[in-house]
Structure 1
């Protein structure tokens, strides 16, 4: 199984966030990414947010 990750440093934001999240599935990663986006970046959970976040998903683990 290939791990998936999303790295906040790649996402446009006013907050200089350096968090990277990884998980074993798209669904698990999406839930963690949405929770982070809502709690830290003050986004609203919506289909548009989820669609945008999905474009930042990568296979593997985040670079150091």
Structure 2
């Protein structure tokens, strides 16, 4: 099973977020990244937002 991650550095924002979230399962990653998006980036937890989050997932380990 390949590791999956989302790296906020790949998607510049006004706050210059540097958080990377990784997990073994896509569902676990989407849940954690959605929580981060809501708490930090003030996004709304909607099906559309979760779909956008899922599209940001990359396979492997994030670069250092």
TM-score bracket, normalised by the shorter chain, equals over 0.9
Which residue does the alignment assign to 2:19? Answer: 19
CA RMSD of aligned residues (A): 0.9
In structure 1, the gaps of 5 or more residues are none
* Structure 1 segments of 4+ aligned residues over 3 angstroms from their partners: none
Give the deviation of 1:11 after TM superposition: 2.1
State yes or no: 1:33 paired with 2:33: yes
Give the TM-score taking structure 2 as reference length.
0.92
